[in-house]
Amino acid sequence: MKQQLRISVRDLVEFLERSGDLDSRSGRGGDAKIMQAGSRLHRKIQGRMGSGYHAEVPLKYRKEWERFSLLIEGRADGIWTEEAFTTIDEIKGTFREVDRMTEPMRVHLAQARCYAYIYSEQNQLDKAGVRMVYANLETEDVRYFTENWEWPVLKAWFDDLMERYYRWLSFQADWTEQREASLKKLVFPYEYREGQRELAAGVYRSILRKKRLFIQAPTGVGKTLSALFPALKAVGEGLGDKIFYLTARTITRMVAADTLDLLREQKMRVKSLVLTAKEKLCICQEVQCDPDHCPRAKGHYDRINDAVYDLWTKGPDSCTREVILTQAEKYQVCPFELSLDLSLWMDVIICDYNYVFDLNVYLKRFFGEGVKGEYLFLVDEAHNLVERGRDMYSAAVCKEEILEIRKLIRGKDPVLVKALDRCNKYLLTLKRECESGYRRLEQAGGFVLPMQQLSGELDRYLEQPMEEEQKKKLLEFYFQVQNFLNVSDLVDENYEVYTELAADGRFFLRLYCVRPAENLKLRLERGNSTIFFSATLLPVNYYKDLLTGEPDDYAVYAQSPFDVEKRALLIGTDVSSRYTRRGEQEYAKMAESISLTVTARKGNYLIFFPSYQLMWDVYERCEQMKGFTCVCQNPDMKEQEREEFLKQFQEERGTSLAAFCVMGGIFSEGIDLTGEQLIGAVIVGTGLPQVCLERQVLKEYFDRKGMDGFAYAYLYPGMNKVLQAAGRVIRTTEDRGVIVLLDERFRSPAYQNLFPREWYPHTLCRVSELSGYLESFWKETS
């Protein structure tokens, strides 16, 4: 049976016919804005034509080969049928000055030629005309480029296009056969741990039924392998074509890549790509994608397809950062753009959440308007997607930043100054009405129009030559304006719109996405199935509400393979981290509890705090104590500093190591310190987020909905941090360790109801009793 493939005319020619320089300076405006303006101008131009003109004509053509069939489809902007011979119109909106154009863009002309070929072939025409129509989106000036084609010449051109595309399809067909054959033979590489077989089966069933699944998987289950293995088997059975493995941290991306390498030991043929941020791949000191600043930008598109094809067909199955950098050097192309183009041909894409969900950086080739695929989404560390989702779909504008930009261009462009003044005046009115530092609004619709006008004027002004530093500031501001406008289109009952007068005097209008579920679903619905998994998805209905909004989504609680006898969980009932209780007496009890824990048995311990200030206050006291070594996390640690911090867990020393860290920080999740590298954690406090305006907005929103606002804004996010911190201790079935929770609130039902079942049994104790319990535990497990 032939493989059935499809592609749009636009995607086909943009892939095969692109040429020239990589130049980010040539793009203006957001996609949505250009499309809207372009559509209006299209209709206006089409409306001027006579009765013999047919607008928006759908066209389809099926190219048959022995092994597969390719459906090529698109929509011609216009077709003249009552002229001397039929002419195909292709209309393109642009911000360029059209009277300065000397020729049409190659890729645009190729699109029109494809339509001319399809229409001529279906209507048996001897010749056809192609007319490129370029229209300036601001001035509406129009420029025409016309060419005429005899049928044999047009057919030869199109046949050559198909021949060039065939080599890609042919290798893809060969590869798909190899991939599916190897996946059918794939077996689980280890003996299943307790609960792991059921977990993998649950993932496969969810994919089979095209459902979403939430997995609470305790430490030691092997979440990555338990999700990837059944997803790969599903691909081998034709239940999906591409896996997106989504993570929040670099280290977990590497775990996924390593898991694929493990499965490749069975001769599995699966091509994978780890997407790395542009800033980490760029060869220049500063990211500026244009031929004036980057030597590889010059002629980038003339070389990129050869670079992609060579790496895809001859390179390793695992395309890591190092592989991408080497190939980009070989062909002198942008490594980031190379990785994006290569992603089209990969079976597994391992990347940050942003590439699927973020409005500004999502992969349009997979999730653009009207694009849908046989995608399987594996969302690792899914608890992080709540706050990340809120950030991605929220926006703000600052009055003072508008005034700074006004000052920057004062005297240079009166029209742009007026646009800035209109926005500033609107915000000034809102500021006068914001008496308490915060005011909730029903909507921000009145501000959208002046922001749209400002965006248009910035578009125009940025085309002018200017100093680099000025342009950098203007571009940064411009992207903020664009983001505000993009988010404003999404504002609904899942948003809170409010103004804020900050403590430093700055005034903000904020569009805050409280429940990101609806926006996240817009992306997830482009694929077949989604698997959310984490060691901390409790309570699961909270995560369902905020990530999909569907209470009927599947959920499973994986059985922990860990022997509870190898873990001691102690709750200090006479210690409190409440803000009102903080002082010398509580700090002394915290320091004593830490000392007793880390000296009960020599080893490495992590000590977690809810804030840097509390951490420093207790660290100073512990530093004066004897019998153990203290090290402390610093804010804004660079990558090398983080690595040096973790190296200390591998060193031999004569005393215990107590490493002081902040909950929710870089050392509270995503690090693996197995065996004797880490034997205990002390967690001070319940992890509650600090009271701030944003948290209060959340609380009030859910209270109005008749839900538990305190739990949604404080309790659940705080407990998640505690669970993540505690999860650093037990990483494998061979590990032994202690977890000490220092806060009397942990004994209350509100917190105990959120304890994972593997936290039972646990022991309530006072500081004076701690030493005895620890001595007994270590003696019994030695």
Residue-wise DSSP of 702-750? HHHTTS-HHIIIIIHHHHHHHHHHHTTT--STT--EEEEEE-GGGGSHH
Tell me the residue range of the domain where 101 lies: 3-167
Q: Which residues pair with 660 in a beta bridge?
A: 607, 632
Q: What is the pLDDT of residues 417-454, one digit of tens each?
A: 999 999 999 999 999 999 888 999 998 889 999 999 99
Name residues whose C-beta falls within 8 Å of residue 782's C-beta, 6 or more positions apart in sequence. Answer: none
**Does residue 652 carry a pLDDT above 60?**
yes
Q: Which of 513, 545, 573 is the last residue of a domain?
A: 513
Helical packing angle, 445-461 and 468-488, nearest 10° = 150
Q: How far apart are CA 144 and CA 135, in angstroms?
A: 9
Number of structural domains the chain divides into: 5
- Whether residue 521 lies inside any domain: the answer is no
Q: Which of 114, 132, 167 is the last residue of a domain?
A: 167
Q: Residue 418 sits in a domain of what CATH number?
A: 1.10.275.40
Instruction: Please give the average per-residue pLDDT across 627-648, as a whole number.
Output: 93
- 29 torsion bin: left (phi>0), alpha (psi -120 to 50), beta (else): left
Radius of gyration of the chain (CA): 30
| Average pLDDT over the chain, rounded to an integer | 92
Task: Say if residue 733 is in the same domain as residue 609.
Answer: yes
In contact, 690 and 522? CB cutoff 8 Å: no
Task: Say if residue 133 is in the same domain as residue 66.
Answer: yes
Q: Which of 151, 167, 183 is the last residue of a domain?
A: 167
- Whether residue 256 lies inside any domain: the answer is no
Nearest to 609 by CA among 497, 691, 725: 725
Task: Say if residue 90 is in the same domain as residue 214.
Answer: no
Q: Which residues pair with 324 in a beta bridge?
A: none
Task: Say if residue 157 is in the same domain as residue 296.
Answer: no
Task: Say if residue 542 is in the same domain as residue 568.
Answer: no
- Whether residue 721 lies inside any domain: the answer is yes
Report residue 38's pLDDT band, with 50, 70 and 90 as the boundaries.
low
Q: What is the pLDDT of residue 85?
A: 80
Nearest to 320 by CA among 340, 347, 339: 339
**Does residue 42 carry a pLDDT above 70?**
no
The residue type found at 149 is: W
Q: How far apart are CA 53 and CA 58, in angstroms?
A: 14
- Whether residue 429 lies inside any domain: the answer is yes
Report residue 221's pLDDT band, with 50, 70 and 90 as the boundaries.
confident
In contact, 195 and 560? CB cutoff 8 Å: yes
DSSP classification of residue 655: S
pTM: predicted TM-score of the whole model, two decimal places: 0.93
Helix (H, G, I), strand (E, B) or coil at 495: strand
Task: Say if residue 206 is in the same domain as residue 161.
Answer: no
Task: Say if residue 547 is in the same domain as residue 570.
Answer: no
Task: Say if residue 279 is in the same domain as residue 320.
Answer: yes
- Whether residue 179 lies inside any domain: the answer is no
In contact, 532 and 213? CB cutoff 8 Å: yes
Task: Say if residue 245 is in the same domain as residue 98.
Answer: no
Name residues whose C-beta falls within 8 Å of residue 63's C-beta, 6 or more positions apart in sequence. Answer: 69, 70, 72, 162
Q: Which residues pair with 442 in a beta bridge?
A: none
- Whether residue 35 lies inside any domain: the answer is yes
Task: Say if residue 587 is in the same domain as residue 489.
Answer: no
Task: Say if residue 437 is in the same domain as residue 569.
Answer: no
In contact, 43 and 135? CB cutoff 8 Å: no
Name residues whose C-beta falls within 8 Å of residue 583's C-beta, 6 or more positions apart in sequence. Answer: none
Q: How far apart are CA 364 and CA 10, in angstroms?
A: 14
Helix (H, G, I), strand (E, B) or coil at 136: strand
Q: What is the pLDDT of residues 543-555, one digit of tens each?
A: 999 999 999 999 9
Report the percent of the chain where pLDDT is more than 70: 98
DSSP classification of residue 265: T
Q: How far apart are CA 725 and CA 608, in angstroms?
A: 7
Residue the block writes with tokens 């790496």: 311
- Whether residue 447 lies inside any domain: the answer is yes
In contact, 458 and 474? CB cutoff 8 Å: yes
- Whether residue 172 lies inside any domain: the answer is no
Spell out the alpha helix ranges (H) of 124-194: 151-185
Q: Residue 777 sits in a domain of what CATH number?
A: 3.40.50.300
**Does residue 140 carry a pLDDT above 70?**
yes
Task: Say if residue 145 is in the same domain as residue 212.
Answer: no
